[in-house]
Chains A and B, each alone.
Chain A
Amino acid sequence: MTNAPALALRDIRKAFGGVQALDGATLVVERGSVHGLVGQNGAGKSTLIKILAGIHHADSGVIEVDGVRQTMLTPARCDQLGVHFIHQDRLLAPSLTVAEALLLGHEPRWSGTPFINRRRLEAQAQAAIRCAFDIALPPRALVRDLSNAEQQIVQITRALLHRPKILVFDEPTTALVRREADFLFATIRRLRADGLTVLYISHYLNEIRDLCDAVTVIRNGRDVARVDARATPTSQLVSLMIDRAVDQLFPARQAAFGAKGLEVDKLSLAGQFEDVSFGVCKGEILGVTGLVGSGAKALARALFGLERPTSGEIRVKGEAQRLNSPRDAVAAGVALVPEDRRRHGVALGLSVRENATLAALNRFRRFGLLAASREKAAVNGLISRLSIRTPDAETPVRALSGGNQQKVALAKWLIHGSQVIVLDEPTVGVDVGAKVEIYREIAALAAGGAAIVLVSSDLMEIQGLADRALVFFRGAVVADIARSELESDRLLTFVTTGHDSREPHAKAAE
């Protein structure tokens, strides 16, 4: 019993609809260790963690906590077992003070009265934070006025107050600056020294190396390796994460480019990215990638008028454009297939037809009214062109699978006829069959003369589709690589460290 691992998930299988998210994944975390979990987006990491948290239930497989087999995990049960999660969403009430948020549900009272003993509340809060982090946070500060790092400190301290045995950190450093991240690592090391077990999920591979004892790599729903973190070079981790079977998914492409469809000149957005310049020719697919917070997403938003750049210029077909809103962008001929499909891409309560024509209603105008027959014809045409699986054009989009919903989101811009298309994570949550069809369409769009910006954290996608790849790292472009130079490990190294795997300097850092 005493030698049993703190956590063991063995041979977990889980399918959503037709998609096999986990296909026999095993994760074993030794007691008192810091264990890293890495894998690309869509590899199955978050599904595995949600199963551990009791939010999803595995189709098959065994879960053991401290050697004891668990049959029905729920969030409450996890609490009882001493498994606590530090989620990416802070889950703190913004208008409460630090002390209140920490001790919510366990507020100290003046004995014999129903009133909170504020002095003890604040003293306890200060003591807890000092004990956990050895710093002083003003206990009366409001949660909403804290920085991301400070909120995380409150979050972690609150979890520690419950005397957890296992702490799971889910992408904890995405919103932190260097100094704050170092602070967090010091804390985690101290927790380990105190006997806590830590599961650490992150995309930042060098952090994994610095912090963890062991690492499990997840790929395609399965664990493919469990290695010693310190003894394994980053490049090896990288190659474990990449799936080599790239070729079948992507259509063949010829590089026949026209004039510049989109040019970006010294573009900066305060706090997000700085001094970005590039051009995309008609017929070219430019891949843009980077970790969360690296600036890649912010660039997509700026190109569509969702953020106003602080300096620099955007030119569409040679003409400088002031894009202050999506309306401006659409008028200039720029389209965006957004990352959050359900909130921004398609309206779930509208039909396929209503969604597909939303950006181009003016095309179907006849005497000031909507020409229903023309509209239907156009939509049906797109349904067949994109192979959208739907009973008919009147079906609410809510009823379609993720892949088909995404096709509708794409169809909207095809009907509009945009010539500059920005795609943000176009195949997240999309099954393989639909992925192939979407890739085919993207390639066809490029062949038809559109300039395409493909923002994606799926490096396979970038490699398979893009003619060039732009890599962002902490707000700057660190690489602009042509397809021929694009090996996957080089790309991933750029993404996770900001350096070239080819450069000798990067090797020395390992």
Chain B
Amino acid sequence: MSAYARFGLPVALLALVVLFSLTSPTFLTAANLRSLALNHFAILALASLAMTLVVTSGGIDLSVGTAIDMAALAYIVILQQGGAPPLAILGALGGAALVGLFNAGLIGGLGLPPFLATLGTLFIGQSVQQLATNGGVPIYLISGAPRPIFAAVDAARLWLVAFAILGVAALLAASLFGRRLVAAGVGPAVAYYSGVPVRRDLGAVMILAALIAGVAGIVLSSSVRSYAPLSGNGYLMDAIGATFLGTTFSPWGRANVAGTLLGVLLLSVVKNGLLLIGVSFYWSQVAGGAVILSVLAVSFLNRREA
């Protein structure tokens, strides 16, 4: 890939920021930026970090939304039943971990291809949630006594995201596990022939990704103070989009944390900006899809010439 091609993503992002600042008076205001960061960015960033880990290892996780939802479900239900906040958090992570363990068993244990395995998990998770909520009825904890945990999580949102970013970046860049993941993604046969426990690592990464998604679930349900079934799935496509957009930022075409974040920013800015200049919410979806398609086209065209 040419040295300049990798700057396509940040340049596009910058251009969009400039565009929206000029066309909308409210874009660059502190209030909007905070809303952008807290609402659009935070949860998508967490989901995308989880996806980045899985894509690095050569797979894909269609059940990241399921993990978000299972975490949110456990979290809200425990709080609703009067459980203490720490228990709720543990429960949430446990719910997400269940999804991760299931995936790990399918992918690491049985060796099923990640796309199909996580598709199956997605389906099953859908059923579980519908059964648990009697058809998709959300659980609201908005009324009643205010719960300090929600405010606490809200306040800590960006810290959690920052922590996750640093953690995943460090894992990929500096840990043995991270190195093995990269090897499994780039050359799984070579890794296998080098004695790397590829299947075991692929299973482990699914659990880790699910845990990160679990944190997203906690953040999501704290911010809306409720659990809405299947709402996590809304983040799936964008998480995939952001991660693959992010690969264009790497000189090697690999999934990477910085690129993923740029991708998340790009998608969030597009959505937010279009909304502010009065474009309907639905056109922003079209625009988002078109942006992803264009970046993919450039990325794959580049790869073929290489």
Contact = CB atoms under 8 A, between A and B. Distances in A.
Q: Please determine if A and B sit in direct contact within the complex, based on CB atoms under 8 angstroms apart.
A: yes
Contact of A359 (B170, B186, B195, B254): B195
Interface in B41-95: none
B179 A338 contact: no
Contacts of B197: 327
Contact of B252 (A326, A346, A349, A412): A349
Most chain B CB within 10 A, of A336, A343, A358, A362, is at A358
B176 A344 contact: no
A326 B176 CA distance: 19
Nearest to A305: B195
Given A369-B174, A370-B174, A350 B195 contact: no
Given A331-B195, A350-B183, A358 B175 contact: no
Nearest to A328: B195
Most chain B CB within 10 A, of A304, A344, A346, A349, is at A349
A370 B194 contact: no
A365 interface: yes
A414 B139 CA distance: 60
Contact of A350 (B170, B186, B253): B186
Nearest to B190: A347
A468 B1 CA distance: 48
Interface string B192-223: 11111100000000000000000000000000
A369 B189 contact: no
B225 interface: no
B190 A345 contact: yes
Interface in B146-180: 170, 174-176, 179-180
B193 A345 contact: yes
Contacts of A346: 187, 190
B36 interface: no
Nearest to B175: A369
A370 B183 contact: no
Contact of A370 (B176, B186, B189): B176
Contacts of A357: 179
Contacts of A330: 194-195
A361 interface: yes
A191 interface: no
Interface string A316-339: 000000000011011100001010
Contact of A361 (B170, B180, B190, B254): B180
A326 B193 contact: yes
A496 to B, nearest CB: 30
A304 B194 CA distance: 10
B197 to A, nearest CB: 6
Contact of B190 (A304, A358, A362, A396): A358
Most chain B CB within 10 A, of A338, A347, A354, is at A347
B291 interface: no
B138 to A, nearest CB: 41
Most chain A CB within 10 A, of B180, B182, B187, B189, is at B187
B191 interface: yes
A329 B187 contact: no
Nearest to B254: A349
B6 to A, nearest CB: 14
Contacts of A365: 176
A112 B193 CA distance: 57
Interface string A296-318: 00000000100000000000000
Given A330-B194, A354-B182, A354-B183, A361 B189 contact: no
B186 A326 contact: no
B196 to A, nearest CB: 7
B194 A358 contact: yes
Contact of B187 (A347, A361, A368): A347
A331 B174 CA distance: 24
Given A354-B179, A361-B180, A349 B187 contact: yes
A326 B195 contact: yes
Nearest to B170: A369
A14 B192 CA distance: 36
A501 to B, nearest CB: 37
A325 to B, nearest CB: 8
B179 A347 contact: no
A195 B193 CA distance: 49
A396 B180 CA distance: 17
A338 B192 CA distance: 12
Nearest to B178: A370
Contact of A347 (B174, B176, B186, B195): B186
A338 B176 contact: no
A343 B193 CA distance: 10
A372 interface: yes
A348 interface: yes
A108 to B, nearest CB: 38
Interface string B251-284: 0111000000000000000000000000000000
Given A350-B183, A369-B174, A370-B174, A344 B195 contact: no
Contact of B194 (A343, A362, A368, A412): A412
Most chain A CB within 10 A, of B175, B190, B192, is at B190
Contacts of B196: 327, 358-359
Interface string A364-380: 01001110100000000
Interface in B69-125: none
B80 to A, nearest CB: 39
A327 B195 contact: yes
A358 B186 CA distance: 12
Nearest to B191: A358
A261 to B, nearest CB: 18
Given A326-B194, A326-B195, A358-B196, A347 B183 contact: yes
Given A347-B187, A348-B187, A349-B187, 8 more contacts: A330-B195, A336-B193, A349-B253, A354-B179, A358-B190, A359-B195, A362-B176, A370-B175
Interface of B: 170, 174-176, 179-180, 182-183, 186-187, 189-197, 252-254
5 contacts: A345-B190, A346-B187, A349-B252, A361-B179, A365-B176
What 6 A-B pairs have minimum CB-CB distances, sorted nearest first? Answer: A347-B187, A330-B195, A349-B186, A347-B190, A359-B194, A358-B194
